[in-house]
Amino acid sequence: MWIKVRIRKPSSDIERVVSAYANSGYEAGEPTIALPMSLVSSLGLERRGISLGLDAEGRPFWIYELEPSEVEVKVEVEDRTTPWVRCRVESSPGRREVLMSAELLSLLKIELLFGPMKWRLEDDEPGVKRKQAEPQIFPSSVEKMN
């Protein structure tokens, strides 16, 4: 499910509003947002290293270690201002969408309503069901693995 979020580099006025995919199956062990490299660059983050991770099915994939290692995120809704939360940020080769972990969804107080493909904030009035945002796919880039 796609949700509009605002992302910013800590201690900076560099921020972007994007559609992020809320994936309750993406369990990272801590609140995490995965970004395409084009968004990493536009936020002024830098790639500092690379490590090997495993996906949900145990397949290996590369994860870029970024500096700073955290960003601030908040949900973008028209009817109110939501608080900023801090989370780990990462990227991987070929990533074309912004992906929020289950732990970040919890921290942002997002509840997914899969039947109607809508979502709500935990403290929304009863019966509030928000429409998902338009998907946002970023251009792929060719990246060196070093």
Going from N- to C-terminal start, the domains of the chain cover 2-131
| Residue 32, strand partner residues | 88
The highest-level CATH class for domain 2-131 is mainly beta
Tell me what percent of the chain is helix, strand and coil, each rounded to the nearest 5.
10, 45, 50
Q: What is the pTM of this model?
A: 0.91
- The type of residue at 102 is A
pLDDT in tens, 9-48: 998 999 999 999 998 888 889 999 999 999 999 999 999 9
**75-104 CB burial, b ≥16 within 10 A, e <16:** bbeeeeebeeeebbbbbbbebebbbbbbbb
